[in-house]
């Protein structure tokens, strides 16, 4: 039994170590941001090496002898019960990470890292040539590694649960099967009806030439209006937009602007802005801890999609901002009405590429990937059969067939890098967003009037109170149940989509 002074010394030393790891991570994130927002080309190689060195240091600290000693001591019942809530969660989080790293033999992990970096470049070539057979042997090895890792880490229920847990703690195959069944039942027939409706939006409104500088200026105004704090962030240009939270006082948004399509820049900005609002509003008391991040990938995505789709693509939003946008593009948008614009930015149609899919069809793309990943991990599906099963599922859910593997099974980078279990987070984000929106409507009765008047403080504050401030202090499920009073239910998303798209497409 250790004295109380040993206890508090260990707590302080543990927190100090976590803080040190966070500082390394912040440095790496800043370098990553720099690489993606215009770092000089000739410095890239050296910079990548620096990132490698620093990441190696954080790995060494995370799995160090001191960390093991602190975790062993602080997780023992005598000590654990004396900890405050934040420290308890910090210990749990650090232990989870420690176990994950330590259970996989380092030499196998090293081989895996080498394999995935090769596999990513082979995937690129296979996609360019639209030839799955090039990628197949690499993907087979990546899948075998996933199964081997699950063996080291252990699993409960379905082996895929272990992979899901890395992105969405607590979510299981059992739960996802039920959620996707709920989506499939409503959305597959709804997409058919939308596709065959003679009532179509006029998308020429949003697909003209639009000056990117003006688009950027407008995006900046919108970000400010929804509550993004430019004193705790900045907006830069990039090729693949992202948001990066260094700490709540420095959360950076990046975006790109399509010269020929107004939608990409504006909604890209609002999407990343949603991620940024989350990171900017995590409670200050979590700074320097391992809880100062989003609760999960899915909860993070719920924030970006809530602001992008439920706010940004609502009719009320454009009742407020269309006039401002027309003032920026007076010739291009002359005479455009709110109804025309609202319909044009909510065009829904069956399409082949996930990243270009609309709000209505998006989850069907995720469902296909989920079913394939689950089958690969359980062994029910062979890698060699993927192109064929992919195309079959596209026909079944979306009623269209890819012409080649580049626009089919080879379209996403995720599998080449071993990111299995990640895709469901996107759909979970949509599901969480719809359930949160439903709860918010009940608690803010004239919710739509606030949007219509461009007053987002109440909406943002509600999200901060219910979601943002907790960071990783609560699990995704705890956040959702506390905010909405019930477990995740697909009905909120299907109700929202039915209502919106039946009205838009007059079906």
Report the nearest approach of Zn ion to the CB of residue 463 (Å). 15
Task: Tell me which stretch binds Zn ion (CB under 5 A): 26-34, 95-103, 298-306, 355-363.
Answer: 298-306
Contact call for residue 494 and Zn ion (CB under 5 A): no
Residue 200's region, left for phi above 0, alpha for psi from -120 to 50, else beta, is beta
Task: Tell me which stretch binds Zn ion (CB under 5 A): 177-185, 296-304, 385-393, 412-420.
Answer: 296-304
Angle subtended at Cα 128 by Cα 123 and Cα 129, rounded to the nearest 5 degrees: 100
Report the nearest approach of Zn ion to the CB of residue 356 (Å). 15
Task: Tell me which stretch binds Zn ion (CB under 5 A): 6-14, 260-268, 288-296, 304-312.
Answer: 304-312
Cβ closer to Zn ion: 33 or 145?
Answer: 33
Contact call for residue 304 and Zn ion (CB under 5 A): yes
User: Rounded to the nearest 5°, which phi and psi values hold at 133?
Assistant: -60, -25
Cβ closer to Zn ion: 162 or 425?
Answer: 425
Neighbour-count burial of 337, counting CB atoms closer than 10 A to its CB (0-12 exposed, 13-18 middle, 19+ buried)? exposed
Strand partners for 258: 261
Residue nearest to Zn ion (CB): 304
As a whole number of angstroms, the distance between CA 142 and CA 80 comes to: 38
Report the nearest approach of Zn ion to the CB of residue 465 (Å). 22
Q: How many residues bind Zn ion (CB under 5 A)?
A: 1
Report the nearest approach of Zn ion to the CB of residue 479 (Å). 17
User: Rounded to the nearest 5°, which phi and psi values hold at 72?
Assistant: -60, -45
Give the sheet arrangement for strand 243-247, strand by strand. 235-237, 250-255, 243-247
181 CB contacts (<8 Å, ≥6 apart)?
Answer: none
CA 105, 106, 111, 115 dihedral sign is positive
Cβ closer to Zn ion: 304 or 484?
Answer: 304
Cβ closer to Zn ion: 301 or 347?
Answer: 301
The DSSP annotation for 1-17 comes to ---HHHHHHHHHHHHHH
Cβ closer to Zn ion: 166 or 340?
Answer: 166
Report the nearest approach of Zn ion to the CB of residue 254 (Å). 12
Report the nearest approach of Zn ion to the CB of residue 398 (Å). 22
284 CB contacts (<8 Å, ≥6 apart)?
Answer: 248
DSSP class of residue 384? G
Count of Cβ atoms closer than 10 Å to residue 327 Cβ: 10
Report the nearest approach of Zn ion to the CB of residue 300 (Å). 7
In the set 93, 168, 264, 272, the catalytic residue is: 272
Question: Scanning residues 165 to 224, which ones bind Zn ion (CB under 5 A)?
Answer: none
Cβ closer to Zn ion: 304 or 419?
Answer: 304
Cβ closer to Zn ion: 268 or 387?
Answer: 268
Report the nearest approach of Zn ion to the CB of residue 230 (Å). 20
CA distances from 315 to 2, 41, 233, 327, 448 (A): 63, 43, 28, 19, 9
Look at residues 242, 316, 248 and name the one whose alpha carbon lies nearest to residue 280.
248
Task: Tell me which stretch binds Zn ion (CB under 5 A): 43-51, 287-295, 300-308, 447-455.
Answer: 300-308
State yes or no: is 272 an active-site residue: yes
The two beta strands, 235-237 and 250-255, are parallel
CA distances from 219 to 228, 264, 339, 390 (A): 11, 11, 21, 37
What character string, x for contact with Zn ion (CB under 5 A) and - otherwise, covers 440-479? Answer: ----------------------------------------
Contact call for residue 425 and Zn ion (CB under 5 A): no
Cβ closer to Zn ion: 304 or 435?
Answer: 304
Which positions are annotated as active-site residues?
272
For binding to Zn ion (CB under 5 A), which residues are involved?
Answer: 304
């Amino acid at each position: 039994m250790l004295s109380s002074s040993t206890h508090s010394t260990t707590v302080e030393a543990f927190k100090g170590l976590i803080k040190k790891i966070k500082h390394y991570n912040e440095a790496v994130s800043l370098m990553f941001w720099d690489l993606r927002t215009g770092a000089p080309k000739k410095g890239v190689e050296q910079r990548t090496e620096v990132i490698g060195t620093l990441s190696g240091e954080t790995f060494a600290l995370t799995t160090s002898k001191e960390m093991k000693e602190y975790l062993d001591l602080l997780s023992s019942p005598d000590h654990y019960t004396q900890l405050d809530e934040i420290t308890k969660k910090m210990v749990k989080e650090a232990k989870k990470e420690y176990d994950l790293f330590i259970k996989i033999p380092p030499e196998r992990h090293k081989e895996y890292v080498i394999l995935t970096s090769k596999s990513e470049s082979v995937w690129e070539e296979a996609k360019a040539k639209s030839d799955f057979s090039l990628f197949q042997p690499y993907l087979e090895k990546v899948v075998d590694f996933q199964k081997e890792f699950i063996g080291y880490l252990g699993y409960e229920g379905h082996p895929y649960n272990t992979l899901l847990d890395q992105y969405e703690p607590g979510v299981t195959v059992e739960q996802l099967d039920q959620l996707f069944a709920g989506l499939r039942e409503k959305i597959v027939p709804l997409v058919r009806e939308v596709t065959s409706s003679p009532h179509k939006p006029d998308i020429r409104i949003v697909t003209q030439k639009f000056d990117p500088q003006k688009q950027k200026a407008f995006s900046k105004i919108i970000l400010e209006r929804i509550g993004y704090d430019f004193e705790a962030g900045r907006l830069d240009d990039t090729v693949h937009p992202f948001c990066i939270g260094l700490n709540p006082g420095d959360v950076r948004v990046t975006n790109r602007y399509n010269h020929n399509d107004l939608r990409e820049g504006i909604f890209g900005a609002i999407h990343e802005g949603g991620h940024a609002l989350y990171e900017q509003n995590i409670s200050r008391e979590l700074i320097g801890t391992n809880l100062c991040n989003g609760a999960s990938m899915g909860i993070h995505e719920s924030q970006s999609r809530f602001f992008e789709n439920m706010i940004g693509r609502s009719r009320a939003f454009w009742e407020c901002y269309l006039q401002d946008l027309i003032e920026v593009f007076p010739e291009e948008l002359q005479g455009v009405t709110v109804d025309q614009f609202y319909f044009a930015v909510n065009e829904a149609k069956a399409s082949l590429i996930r990243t270009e899919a609309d709000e209505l069809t998006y989850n069907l793309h995720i469902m296909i990937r989920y079913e394939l990943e689950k089958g690969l991990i359980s062994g029910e599906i062979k890698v060699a059969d993927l192109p064929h099963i992919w195309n079959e599922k596209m026909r079944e859910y979306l009623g269209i067939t890819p012409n080649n593997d580049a626009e089919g099974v080879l379209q996403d980078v995720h599998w080449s890098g071993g990111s299995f279990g990640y895709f469901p987070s996107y759909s979970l984000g949509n599901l969480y967003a719809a359930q949160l929106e439903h709860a918010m409507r009940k608690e803010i009765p004239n919710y739509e009037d606030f949007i219509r008047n461009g007053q987002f403080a109440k909406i943002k504050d509600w999200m901060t109170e219910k979601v943002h401030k907790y960071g990783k202090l609560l699990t995704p499920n705890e956040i959702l149940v506390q905010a909405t009073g019930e477990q995740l239910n697909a009905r909120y998303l299907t109700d929202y989509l039915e209502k919106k798209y039946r009205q838009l497409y007059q079906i």
